[in-house]
Structures are given as structure tokens and as C-alpha cells.
Amino acid sequence: MSIWQIFQRLQPFVKPYYKQITFALFLTLLGAVTAQVNPWVLRYTVDTVQSMLDKNWGIMQGRDLLLRISIILFVKEIVNTFIVFGQRYFGEKIRIKVSSDLAQEAVSRILTYNLSFYSDSDNQKGKLQTRIDRGVESLTKLIQNFFIDILPLFANSIVALAIMFSANFYVGAIALAILPVYFWVSFKQAGELQGVRRKLKTQRENKSSGLINLIESIIVIKSFVREKFEGRKQYKTQMELMESQLKTRRTNFTYDGIKSFVEQIGVVLIIILTAYLVLDHQMSIGAIMFHILLFNNVSAPIRQLHRIYDEMNDALTYSEGFFDILDADNAKERSGDFTPESIQGDYVLHNVSFTYPNGTKALFNIDVTIKSGQTTALVGLSGAGKSTLINLLIGFYAPDSGTLLLDGLSLSAYNLPALRNEIGMVLQKNHIFKGSIAENIRYGQMDASMEDLMAAAKKAYLHDQIMELPAKYETDAQMLSGGQQQRIAIARLFLKNPPVIFLDEPTASLDAIATEQIKNSLDAIKKGRTVVIISHSLSQILDSDQIYVMKKGHIEESGTHTELYEKEGLYREIFDASARSLNLDKMIELIAKE
Ligand SMILES: Nc1ncnc2c1ncn2[C@@H]1O[C@H](COP(=O)(O)OP(=O)(O)OP(=O)(O)O)[C@@H](O)[C@H]1O
């Protein structure tokens, strides 16, 4: 991406602030003129003082001159203060506003993206966050640079150069001749930094995602006493980052030295030439000061050039990743137009195959029929593809091939938000948002009253436990135990009250008593609804109307419990193994004794 393309991309974000921009530009022009006042005043002062000395005049005759230049400099300084304030204030204002617009745009976009986008390794939590943060930061810095540094400084520079040329062609020519050398050195510097900068970017992202992973894994790390091992991993990342940072600094210091040297050559050449012209009576002595100060104005932006380059390179490096996020149109969830009043939940899958974006083939030629009002169970060993199948049914992913119909219509024709409003999901591990228990349950139905909320919590066997907590429904939900958090998810489902329910091992993290309670309440909610359940717990499978047994992405068998049990296939194998793992014989023996 070129800097020009970046500016084009920024245009829609900057456009709403065109009034502030116009004003900032006007101030820039004014600032460029007032910046030349000092050289004029100094030349005038030196020349006038010189002629006074020639006439043997003293301080009495010079009072007027001193008063005049004091007033001019004072007024100029006041005007300049307002100009600089205005430039900075409006530049900052534009920067802050554009920065928040860019960040908000990124958030709005990623919320519309499908799960493939989030499972991409480039979009892991830490990496995605760094890409957005760095992108917004460098782009807004570019805008700030443009209004606060580049425009005012270059306007100053051009005006000063024009004055130098009008004073004397050769003086102007020297000032102008230094510029390409300076540009060339800065360009070389930028080129050398480019590779390191990209490396720095990746290393920074790795470091921040590494730290997030470390925090998330702290219990495992501590229980295995792997603090030193993890510390060494972080140290290695840190060292690589440090190496790149040092290289960047080394390069900068070397080139800064060269640029300083080039600039000083310019100053020396101008002094020599002007002194010659003064001695040759072509100019007054004030011209020496005049030209040096003007050259100072010409070279000021050039002194900043490497920093501007640096920040432009930052923008070039990070904006690409940022705009990639905004441009990920292929990651947008494809939603159809059909908005159902309500859905029955009659799913028919024929010959459905599915591959995850990373290339894992998870489902092969699946034929499944889910009847409305019935409970369909998905059984199989770990990794068989059960959760993947549910992901397809809720439209998180689309099949590679085959047909997936809901109530006789292709699932792709449905408006996704409308579809998902009709579906409830309870997963093995449910997400609990930062906030109170009440806020978390209310996620099921945002306008629910406190009474509705309590009724849902009661059905999920959670209400009594909540009432024992000091802050009751206002308690921080993330402080609850795994089982209690699971019941929050179930309470959300009761509150949402959808006609179709997907349960992916809903009682996996509950104790035996809670599992029984939840099973009872899930049995109640199942009535009259379409339910698809994945469970390793036999008690939840046995009374399903239809069971599909999956193996390595295929449907191995299907039927009712009795049919499958008698078939003596995979289902029977899983069933017998579960019974043995539960030590059922012993349990029955013990129960019989009582
Ligand atoms: N987001 C993903 N990206 C890539 N591959 C995935 C993703 N999720 C699951 N898989 C892979 O797809 C296959 C099926 O996984 P799935 O989670 O559907 O199995 P499952 O039957 O639900 O297993 P379990 O009972 O352990 O939850 C596995 O090989 C798994 O590694």
C-alpha cells in the first residue's frame, strides 16, 4: 500500500471534518508567513544598528529602533501563539475524532464476520487487538503529522526558500541543493528500517499474544511447575524484540549523524557565500543573519524528515493489516433474506461435507434428518464432528457441498439474525460476560423484567444459590463456580425461550445432583421443541427419539436406543464402555442390597 493509497482510504474518515481542516490549512499558511518575521527583523536590526554605529550614534538615538522591533516581535509572538494553538488544537481534534471513528469501524466490521475469520491464526485475540490498535495509532499519527508537522513545516520551508532565492539566486541555490542529499539519506534510512519494522511488528504481536496465553494458562503452568519453562519462552521472544529495537536505534543514530553533517555543510556554505557578498558590497551585513535564519526555516522540516518518514513507514506497515480487517468482505457472514415468523426445526441434511478454513476435513457426506418437536442425539467419540454439525445447523459455517434444509428451505436463504433468534444454545463451557449475574442472564432477552429473570433462574435451579450470595443478582458472575456459570447459560436459554435448542454437553461441568436437577429442567424445556443434544452422558441420550452415531466425520449408524443397542455396532460399544466406566454392575449390586 502506498502513502497515496492510505490517504485515499482515509478520505471518508476525514471528510466529515472538512471545516476544521480548512481552518487548519488557513492557519498553516498564516504560520508560514509569520515564521519569516524573525529573519526580517534581525536583518533590519543589524543593518540599522550598523548604520547608527557608522554615524557614531548612541543608545538615545537607538531607543526608537528598540521600541519598534520589540513591538513587532511581541505582536508577532502573540499572533504566532494563537496560530500554533489553533493548528495543534484542530490537528489534535481531527486526529482524536478520526481515531475513534477508525476504531469503531473496525469493531463494527469484525462483529459482522463469520467464525472462520476468528479461527484464522492471524486473528487470534492478541494479534487482532494489536493489529487494530497499531493500525489506528499509526494512521491517526499520520493525520496528526500531516496537519501539525508536514504541512506547517513544509509551508515554512517553501516560503523561506522563495525569500532566499529572491534575496540572491546563489544563496537560494545552495539551500535547494542540500535538500536532495538530505532526502536521499533519509530515504536510505527509511529503506533500511523497513525490513526491521515488519519484523518488529510480528514480534510485538507475538509478545502480546504470548502474554495473554500465559495469563490464560496460569493454572496449568503452576500445577505442572512450568514457570521457568514459560519464563524462558517469554524471554526468548523479549530478546528477539530487543534485538530488533536496538537495530532500529543503531540505524537511526547513524543516519541522524550523517544528516546533521549534511545540514552543517549547508550552513557553512551559506555563511561563506553571504560573507563574500557582504565584503563585495553586494549586501548589507544583516544578510548573514537573515540567510542563516532563513536556511534554518528551510532545514527545519528536513531535520524532522526521518521522524516523519518513520511514522509514515509505521503507517505503511500497520495500515495494511488494519485495512485488511476492514476489507475482509469474504469474512462477512452471508445472510439470506428470508425472515421466518417462527421456525419448526425440521432439518434435512443430504450429502453434506465440510472443511474448516485451516483445511481440517470435519464432515463427509452427512445424511441426517432432525424432526421438529423431537429430540435428536449426536453420539460419537471425541473429534467425530458432532459440534461441527451443530455449527452448521446454526449457520456459523456453510457446508462445502450437499444440501442443508430447514423447514423445507435452504438454510442459506435464511436471514441469520432472525434464524438465531429462534435458536437456543447451551455449550460445554459457556461464556460469562464481565458483569453481574442479572446482566448475564438478561443476555437471553434484553428487555426481560427482574421477575422473568428470577423465574428463569429458578427453572435452572440457580435462584436459591443466588439468593445466598451477599449481592444476590448483582454479584459478579465471573466469580461463580463452573457449574453455577453453566446454570446461568441454561437460565439464559429459559429466558430466550426458543423453539429450537442445541445442547452441546450441557451438564459436562455439573456435579451429580446439579446434573439431575438440570436434566429435569431440560426435560421440561424439551417438550414441544426441537432439540439436538450432544452428550457423553447416557442418561441424556437414552430417551432421545433419534440417535445418530458419528465416527471420524461420518454417520456410522442411526436409530432409537433399542434399535442401535441390538445392532451391536459402535453405539453398543460406546454404551457398554460407558456402563463399565460408571461401574454400573457394582452400583446395581449396592442399590439392590439396600
Ligand atoms: N475451529 C476449528 N478449526 C479447525 N478445525 C477444527 C475446529 N473445530 C474443530 N475442528 C476439528 O474438526 C474435527 C471435529 O471436531 P468437533 O469439535 O466437531 O468434534 P466433536 O465430535 O464435537 O468432539 P468432542 O466430543 O471432543 O467435542 C476435529 O478434528 C477437530 O480438530
Distance 381 CA to ligand 1 centre (A): 11
Q: In 50-173, where do the E strands start and end?
A: none
Q: Rounded distance, CA 223 to CA 382, Å?
A: 25
26 lines ligand 1 (CB under 6 A): no
User: How far is residue 49 CA from its own chain's centroid?
Assistant: 62
Cα–Cα distances (Å) from 137 to 15, 101, 190, 194, 314, in that order, read: 19, 12, 19, 18, 9
Closest to 103 measured CA to CA, from 133, 123, 62: 133
Q: How many CB atoms lie within 10 A of CB 462?
A: 28
Closest to 141 measured CA to CA, from 266, 318, 11: 318
Contact status, residue 332 vs residue 311, Cβ threshold 8 Å: no
Ligand 1 atom closest to residue 388's alpha carbon, by position in its atom list: 18
Please give the pLDDT value at position 306.
66
What phi-psi label fits residue 53: left (phi over 0), alpha (psi between -120 and 50 degrees) or beta?
A: alpha
3-state secondary structure 359-419: CCEEEEEEEEEECCCCEEEEEECCCCCHHHHHHHHCCCCCCCEEEEEECCEEHHHECHHHH
Write the residue with the smallest CA distance to atom 18 of ligand 1: 385
380 lines ligand 1 (CB under 6 A): yes
Please give the pLDDT value at position 282.
87
* Confidence (pTM): 0.70
**ipTM score for this prediction:** 0.96
Please give the pLDDT value at position 285.
84
Q: Rounded distance, CA 115 to CA 52, Å?
A: 82
Distance 63 CA to ligand 1 centre (A): 89
Tell the residue number behind the cell numbers 496460569, with chain if given: 218
CATH number of the domain at 3-331, out of 3.90.1200.10, 3.30.70.580, 2.40.170.20, 1.20.1560.10? 1.20.1560.10
Task: Tell whether domain 347-430+499-592 is in CATH 3.40.50.300.
Answer: yes
Closest to 127 measured CA to CA, from 139, 110, 144, 140: 110
Asked if the model's pLDDT at residue 425 lies above 90, the reply is no
Ligand 1 atom closest to residue 358's alpha carbon, by position in its atom list: 4
Asked if the model's pLDDT at residue 245 lies above 80, the reply is yes
Distance 502 CA to ligand 1 centre (A): 16
Ligand 1 atom closest to residue 550's alpha carbon, by position in its atom list: 21
Beta bridge partners of 101: none
- Residue 76's identity, in one-letter code, is K
Ligand 1 atom closest to residue 378's alpha carbon, by position in its atom list: 21
Question: Using one digit for the tens of pLDDT, what is the confidence trace for 482-532?
Answer: 778 888 888 898 899 899 999 988 777 677 777 777 777 777 777 788 999
Domain assignments of the chain as residue spans, ordered by start: 3-331, 347-430+499-592
286 lines ligand 1 (CB under 6 A): no
Please give the pLDDT value at position 410.
93
Write the residue with the smallest CA distance to atom 4 of ligand 1: 356
536 lines ligand 1 (CB under 6 A): no
Please give the pLDDT value at position 43.
86
Q: Rounded distance, CA 177 to CA 183, Å?
A: 11
Please give the pLDDT value at position 252.
84
Contact status, residue 402 vs residue 351, Cβ threshold 8 Å: yes
User: How far is residue 502 CA from its own chain's centroid?
Assistant: 31
119 lines ligand 1 (CB under 6 A): yes
Please give the pLDDT value at position 100.
93
pLDDT band at 347 (very low <50, low <70, confident <90, very high): very high
Q: How many CB atoms lie within 10 A of CB 581?
A: 9
Tell the residue number behind the cell numbers 560573507, with chain if given: 275
Write the residue with the smallest CA distance to atom 8 of ligand 1: 388
DSSP tag of 329: G
Question: Using one digit for the tens of pLDDT, what is the confidence trace for 307-332?
Answer: 777 777 777 778 888 888 888 877 78
Distance 489 CA to ligand 1 centre (A): 22
436: three-class secondary structure by DSSP: strand
Provide the greatest CA pair distance for the chain: 131
Question: Using one digit for the tens of pLDDT, what is the confidence trace for 434-454?
Answer: 889 999 999 888 888 999 999
Burial 244-282, CB ≥16 within 10 A → b, else e:
beebbeebbeebbeebeebbeebbebbeebbeebeeeee
Contact status, residue 130 vs residue 208, Cβ threshold 8 Å: yes
* Average pLDDT, integer, range 354-382: 91
Up-side HSE of residue 466: CA atoms within 13 Å toward CB?
27
- Total H helices, total E strands in the chain: 23, 10
323-330, long-range: CB < 8 A, 24+ apart: 323/1, 323/9, 323/135, 325/106, 325/109, 325/110, 325/128, 325/131, 325/132, 325/135, 326/105, 326/106, 326/109, 328/109, 328/113, 328/117
Question: Using one digit for the tens of pLDDT, what is the confidence trace for 155-176?
Answer: 888 888 998 898 889 889 988 9
Ligand 1 atom closest to residue 385's alpha carbon, by position in its atom list: 18
**Residue 464: CB partners within 8 Å, gap ≥ 6?**
none
* Average pLDDT, integer, range 131-152: 81
Q: Rounded distance, CA 153 to CA 305, Å?
A: 10
Distance 399 CA to ligand 1 centre (A): 15
Beta bridge partners of 378: 534, 548
Distance 361 CA to ligand 1 centre (A): 10
Q: Rounded distance, CA 493 to CA 444, Å?
A: 6
Indicate the range of 364-378, 420-434, 507-521, 570-584 predicted with least confidence. Answer: 507-521
Q: Rounded distance, CA 77 to CA 83, Å?
A: 10
Indicate the range of 358-372, 489-503, 576-590 predicted with least confidence. Answer: 576-590
* Average pLDDT, integer, range 428-439: 85
Distance 383 CA to ligand 1 centre (A): 5
| Residues shown for the chain | 594
Q: Rounded distance, CA 374 to CA 500, Å?
A: 10
Please give the pLDDT value at position 509.
66
Percentage above 70 pLDDT, the chain: 99
Contact status, residue 368 vs residue 389, Cβ threshold 8 Å: yes
- Residue 363's identity, in one-letter code, is L
Ligand 1 atom closest to residue 390's alpha carbon, by position in its atom list: 18
Query: Dihedral through CA 425, CA 430, CA 436, CA 440, nearest 10?
Result: -10
pLDDT band at 154 (very low <50, low <70, confident <90, very high): confident
268: three-class secondary structure by DSSP: helix
Q: Rounded distance, CA 404 to CA 412, Å?
A: 8
Question: Using one digit for the tens of pLDDT, what is the confidence trace for 332-346?
Answer: 888 888 888 888 889
Q: Rounded distance, CA 575 to CA 553, Å?
A: 20
Ligand 1 atom closest to residue 115's alpha carbon, by position in its atom list: 1
pLDDT band at 139 (very low <50, low <70, confident <90, very high): confident
Cα–Cα distances (Å) from 98 to 16, 20, 349, in that order, read: 9, 12, 47
Distance 363 CA to ligand 1 centre (A): 10
Question: Using one digit for the tens of pLDDT, what is the confidence trace for 247-287?
Answer: 888 988 898 889 888 888 888 998 999 899 888 888 888 88
386 lines ligand 1 (CB under 6 A): yes
pLDDT band at 151 (very low <50, low <70, confident <90, very high): confident
Higher pLDDT, 540 or 80: 80
- As given in the structure block, the three cell numbers for residue 321 are 493489516
358 lines ligand 1 (CB under 6 A): yes
Q: Rounded distance, CA 490 to CA 518, Å?
A: 8
387 lines ligand 1 (CB under 6 A): yes
Query: Dihedral through CA 101, CA 105, CA 108, CA 110, nearest 10?
Result: -140
